[in-house]
């Protein structure tokens, strides 16, 4: 066979292979809708500040009546140190209002000090018997921005995107 015949055979084979009809239609491209979710690292109650710029995660030890507040970033992933000496929460419990003052907690292991910490805590006996209440975080300043009168429910929180 002459070289020209080989070329013709290759071209014909390529034509028939490339022109074969296929009933396999490409699958339509669908984009999955991603839901924005956060997961509180301590399994606590997420309270969003602003448009989820930051969060306060509230963790209750019911037996001790101890409430901890962790200041976190918008994704509930990284601790954010704040200069506050305390955080105040006004709670509406059945028949009365209670005030909680969570004091700054230093941590020598992380270098956190009073006035430069991400953890605050308090103890109140009524927390041992009151599993749910509406509340407002009075005020907290974070990196030059102040968040005031942030309303939430305990233990639900106010962040619809958060999952425990």
Give 75-90 pLDDT, tens digit per residue.
999 999 999 999 999 9
pLDDT over 60 (residue 31): no
Residue 146's pLDDT band, with cuts at 50, 70 and 90, is very high
Give 100-122 pLDDT, tens digit per residue.
999 999 988 889 999 999 999 99
In DSSP terms, which residues pair with 91 in a beta bridge? 98, 135
Specify burial of residue 136 (Cβ count, 10 A radius: 0-12, 13-18, 19+): middle
pTM of the model: 0.76
* Of residues 159 and 29, more confidently modeled: 159
Whole-angstrom distance, CA of residue 119 vs CA of residue 123: 14
What percent of the chain is modeled with pLDDT above 70?
Answer: 75
Dihedral of CA atoms 14, 19, 20, 26 in degrees, nearest 10, equals: 120
- C-alpha 20: how far from chain center: 52
E strands present in 27-65: 45-49, 54-61
Q: Can you list the domains of the chain with their CATH numbers? A: 56-154 (2.60.40)
Torsions phi, psi for 16 (to 5 deg): -70, -35
pLDDT over 70 (residue 36): no
């Amino acid at each position: 066979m002459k070289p020209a015949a080989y070329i013709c055979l290759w071209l014909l084979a390529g034509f028939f292979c490339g022109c074969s009809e296929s009933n396999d239609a490409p699958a339509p491209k669908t984009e999955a809708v991603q839901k924005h979710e956060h997961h509180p690292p301590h399994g606590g109650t997420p309270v969003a500040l602003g448009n989820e710029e930051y969060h306060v995660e509230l963790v209750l030890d019911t037996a001790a009546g101890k409430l901890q507040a962790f200041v976190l970033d918008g994704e509930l992933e990284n601790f954010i140190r704040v200069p506050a000496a305390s955080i105040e929460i006004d709670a509406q419990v059945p028949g009365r209002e209670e005030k909680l003052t969570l004091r700054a907690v230093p941590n020598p292991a992380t270098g956190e000090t009073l006035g430069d910490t991400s953890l605050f805590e308090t103890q109140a006996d009524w927390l041992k018997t009151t599993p749910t209440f509406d509340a407002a975080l009075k005020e907290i300043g974070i990196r030059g921005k102040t968040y005031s009168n942030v309303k939430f429910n305990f233990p639900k929180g106010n962040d619809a995107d958060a999952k425990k």
